[in-house]
A and B are shown apart, each in its own frame.
Chain A
Amino acid sequence: MEAQAIFDTLKGKFGDAVVELQGEGFSPAFAVVAPAAVKEVSRFLKEDPDLSFDSLMCLSGVDYKDKFAVAYHLHSLKHRHAIGLKAMLPRENPSLPTVDDVWPAANFQEREAFDLFGIGFEGSKDLRRILLPEDWEGHPLRKDYKYPDSYHGIKV
């Protein structure tokens, strides 16, 4: 199924929660959805037999300076088609529902986005830092991250 057809299916099902299709410069195209609807949209994309997106290829955090985003790359092994999903988040307290009960593989990737961008995933079964030490301060991939002078007495 083509990206436009997938987007139309989502639009018909979820209405205003599906905002727009970003096709220019993206492959696969991104369907931008409201953060609160991410879990329902994801479940529909996975369980609908015509869509059947059984593989979460990648989950990324993005810092646009004025806002954050979480981008999901989905692929269907059954139908051999792909789509992107994107949720825009505010700069202050960025947070959205987890999808780790839809795709269990999401957990590690959500932990990475939490670790490096400080994006919260509500209802996650295990949201801890994954790469950095537990006592690290700040989220280093944020554009406004300030490097610490030292960590445990070692110059950074």
Chain B
Amino acid sequence: MGPHPAGHPGRERREMTHDPSHGKGGAGASAPTGASAALGPEAHVLVGNADLFVNWARKSSLWYLLFATACCGIELMQAGASRYDLDRFGAVFRATPRQSDLMLVAGTITHKMADRVKRLYEQMPEPKYVIAMGSCANTGGPFYKDSYCVVKGVDLLIPVDVYIPGCPPRPEALIDGIMALQKIIMRKKNYGAKA
């Protein structure tokens, strides 16, 4: 306290420093902004519902599984690199499903790969989300007709949250898809992972 008079609460003093117009101290009932002024500027009160906080936390750190099976993977790599910079959205790649929130299915899924896709999805912890990137993952794309080996859409294997069209989609489209997923996550209720 030093030079100040003993017994003078530091809180009042600092409020005086910040806002000299409140000459008598912080407890003035005549303060224009009501509660916040009554508690003083140090009292940062956050009022909201818990869903908002949980959803905001989830959507802001969508760690995605490195899972690229075809040319969409090249676009995914670009989107993750410095020019498009998916890190801005809190989306960084993980090399293991056990640390991933989001499975970006980037490319053609063959029947030989199908078992692996399912297993990787099951290894991810809840809450988990899936984006089907590109025509192959959406519907089988160019292999839709007369192909014995390509799965006609990854939604035959695992539940999909967002479908991104394109062959392959540009990084802007992928970022749009991730933002669409963020909007979906913000609508979830009661800490729910499922919509």
- A residues lining the B interface (CB < 8 Å): 131-133, 140, 145, 147-148, 151-152, 154-156
Contact = CB atoms under 8 A, between A and B. Distances in A.
Contacts, number: 24
Q: Shortest 4 CB-CB distances between A and B: which pairs?
A: A133-B112, A151-B111, A140-B148, A147-B148
B136 to A, nearest CB: 15
Interface in B135-183: 148-149, 151-152, 156-157
B70 interface: no
B115 interface: yes
A128 to B, nearest CB: 13
Interface residues of B, number: 10
A69 to B, nearest CB: 22
Nearest to B156: A154
Given A132-B112, A133-B112, A154 B151 contact: yes
A150 to B, nearest CB: 9
Interface of B: 111-112, 114-115, 148-149, 151-152, 156-157
B114 to A, nearest CB: 6
Contacts of B156: 154-155
Contacts of A156: 111, 148
A132 B115 CA distance: 13
A151 B111 CA distance: 7
Contacts of A145: 148
Contacts of A154: 111, 114, 151, 156-157
Contacts of B148: 140, 145, 147-148, 156
A147 B148 CA distance: 6
Contacts of A140: 148-149
A131 B147 CA distance: 14
Nearest to B152: A155
Which of A140, A148, A156 has the most chain B CB within a 10 Å cutoff?
A: A156
Contacts of B152: 155
24 contacts: A131-B112, A131-B149, A132-B112, A132-B149, A133-B111, A133-B112, A140-B148, A140-B149, A145-B148, A147-B148, A148-B148, A151-B111, A152-B111, A152-B114, A152-B115, A154-B111, A154-B114, A154-B151, A154-B156, A154-B157, A155-B152, A155-B156, A156-B111, A156-B148
B113 to A, nearest CB: 10
A151 B151 CA distance: 10
Contacts of A147: 148
Contacts of B111: 133, 151-152, 154, 156
A152 B112 CA distance: 10
Which of B111, B156, B157 has the most chain A CB within a 10 Å cutoff?
A: B111
A114 B114 CA distance: 23
A140 B112 CA distance: 14
Nearest to A133: B112
Contacts of A148: 148
Contacts of B151: 154
A151 B113 CA distance: 12
